[in-house]
Chains A and B, each alone.
Chain A
Amino acid sequence: MDEKFIKQISLFAENKPGHLANIASSFKEASVNIRAFTIAEAGDFGIIRMVVDKPEKAHRVLHDAGFTVSETDVLGIQMEDVPGQLATIAEVLGKKGVNIDYAYAFVTKTEKAFLIIRVNDLKTAVETLYEQGISLLDMGDVQSI
């Protein structure tokens, strides 16, 4: 069931100007494409989270550029109606005791909406969503969107 996870790259970032430009130029050189991107801010630091088409390469490039980087398994779900479906997903997962640590949505060039969620119990979450007929993205999907 591993293939139904998506690798998310997270970066520790102090709120310093120039950071995002550095990331963008590092990726451009390595021809890594960003699919989804969000920043969680907390006082004097932030965490940048992103889904890219080549996570291993992105990890290496960012690490070599001196960033503090980590890789996390998250779930990607294609959505028709983001707010409504998010509530449904939270409810079905909650019943199985799975908590959503955070979620963020993004829209592709083809105007499809996707939701990325991080949960505390991946295995149960995947099984539960599968039972509900909710299909999950894999890395192949991420590369092609």
Chain B
Amino acid sequence: MTKYLLCDNMIEYWNPQIERMPLDELEQIQEERLRHLVDYVYTHSPFYKKRFDEAGVKPEDIRTLEDLQKLPFTYKQDLRDNYPKGMFCVPDTQLVRYHVSSGTTGKPTVVGYTKNDIHEWAKSLGRALTSIGVGRGDVLQVSYGYGLFTGGLGLHYGAEEVGSTVLPISVGNTDKQLELMQDLGTTTLACTPSYFLYMAEEAKDKGIDFQEDTGLKTGIFGAEPWTEEMRKRMEDATGIKAYDVFGTSELSGPLFTECTCQDGIHIWGDQFIVEIIDPETGDTLPEGERGELVITTLKKEALPLIRYRIGDCTILNKQPCECGRTHPRIMRVTGRVDDMLIIRGINVFPGQVESVLMKIPEVEEHFMIHVDRINEMDTMKIQIEMNDEAFSDKVNDIISLEKKVASALKSVLNLSVGVELVEHGTIPRSIGKSKKIIDNRKL
């Protein structure tokens, strides 16, 4: 690890030569690796050979980064259709691990890893952890699930790469989480944001103060979308710095985090190429426009992916970051292309609702969106828990709070939304992915 003195802040880099490389040099590396990649998949994967042939593209057609747009997309459905190993580019003897994603929306998908794949994954997270000041001397409590899910083992290897001490506690058993956090001096916690909120609530009930009673400084939160307002709430309530982490099992697992600037997630350009496309037309969008994230893996051996449709909506930012890193950033993910609700012709993301609600101190962060169709008309109702301190014994105060929430939602969503305040503890707390929508429309 190398330390640089930049202005007044000591900034540490895991690999300064790569992380601070001028963008044009980085793009040169991407071009070289892209050319190698298309040769590699064309000769090693019958799936990609067929895909390229159908699209009428030959590996030699791909010379520059612009040529990337000539290549067909890869979809999650392709992984399902070729279950379990139909898209792998290496013989089984080269594989050192499998991860399998749950099949809640279809068949499961299997990702295989070579030894190099595991190491590239750990390197990517190693850079990321260093960029948020996590390294030797830190105790990283990994409260993501271990096992077939990539979260636990991913963070585990990344933390070991930078020399942190890992506490592989996995998800659940909140009493034990809080006890070991105090006894072993956890400095960094990795889990889903909803589980952290749950943990904070439990801690409060037990009289544990994160600032007074624990050494927790840093939170790494992901595996479900969250918002800026939620960050502020989590940081204010517990005194930690909260960072977003990004990755999906198909790309290996959690791979990238924000840096200390908290202004976007650096995607390591020597390992991946990022594009933002219009999800309807598939056209590449200019930098700064919101669209669907598409990623091409440059270093993966077992399961390389060409123009993989991640399904998340975000914005690409290639401007140099204040941390000194030149690698492009994706801004906060606002939701999934397939989570998008269309209500009376208007696109609504649960993330937008969440960010409105987070700005209203009288309500809690737990909410549920109910969508229904009544008399051929779509209706949307939000149930939200009232904050204990905001509760008044006057009926009118509560009605005007409901109106306040409804008008705040209307101004952002352009949609009339019903608001129902509910009692504390009514909305189900989720330990894994938050399920925030109940869609009762029979279409």
Q: Give the interface of A toward B (CB within 8 A).
A: 8, 10, 12-14, 40, 42, 44-45, 47, 49, 63, 66-70, 72, 101-102, 118
Q: Is the CB of A68 within 8 A of B395?
A: no
Q: Is the CB of B423 within 8 A of A10?
A: no
Choose from A42, A67, A102 the contact partner of B398 (Cβ within 8 Å).
A42
Q: Is the CB of A44 within 8 A of B420?
A: yes
B261 interface residue per 8 A CB criterion: no
Choose from B395, B420, B422, B426 the contact partner of A40 (Cβ within 8 Å).
B395
Inter-chain contacts of B395 with A (CB < 8 A) = 40, 42, 47
Q: How many Å lie between the Cα of A10 and that of B423 in the bound state? A: 13
Q: Is the CB of A47 within 8 A of B393?
A: yes
Q: Is the CB of B398 within 8 A of A12?
A: yes
Q: How many Å lie between the Cα of A32 and that of B280 in the bound state? A: 63
B345 interface residue per 8 A CB criterion: no
Inter-chain contacts of A70 with B (CB < 8 A) = 388, 391-393
B386 interface residue per 8 A CB criterion: yes
- 14 A-B pairs with CB atoms under 8 Å apart are A10-B391, A14-B426, A40-B395, A42-B399, A45-B422, A47-B394, A49-B393, A66-B424, A67-B423, A68-B391, A68-B423, A68-B424, A69-B388, A69-B391
Q: Give the interface of B toward A (CB within 8 A).
A: 386, 388, 391-395, 398-399, 420-426
Report the minimum CB–CB distance from A28 to chain B (whole Å).
Answer: 21
Inter-chain contacts of B421 with A (CB < 8 A) = 12, 45
Inter-chain contacts of B422 with A (CB < 8 A) = 14, 45
Q: How many Å lie between the Cα of A80 and that of B423 in the bound state? A: 39
Q: Is the CB of A13 within 8 A of B394?
A: no
Q: Is the CB of B393 within 8 A of A118?
A: yes
Report the minimum CB–CB distance from A34 to chain B (whole Å).
Answer: 16
Q: How many Å lie between the Cα of A47 and that of B424 in the bound state? A: 14
Q: How many Å lie between the Cα of A98 and that of B350 in the bound state? A: 45
Q: How many Å lie between the Cα of A139 and that of B388 in the bound state? A: 25
Residue of A nearest to B385 (CB): A68
Q: Is the CB of B393 within 8 A of A10?
A: yes
Given contacts A10-B392, A69-B388, 19 further A-B contacts (CB under 8 A): A10-B391, A12-B391, A12-B398, A14-B426, A42-B395, A45-B422, A47-B393, A47-B398, A49-B393, A66-B423, A66-B425, A67-B423, A68-B386, A68-B391, A68-B424, A69-B391, A70-B388, A70-B391, A70-B392
Choose from B393, B394, B399, B423 the contact partner of A14 (Cβ within 8 Å).
B423
Inter-chain contacts of A118 with B (CB < 8 A) = 393-394
Q: How many Å lie between the Cα of A102 and that of B393 in the bound state? A: 10
Q: How many Å lie between the Cα of A12 and that of B399 in the bound state? A: 12
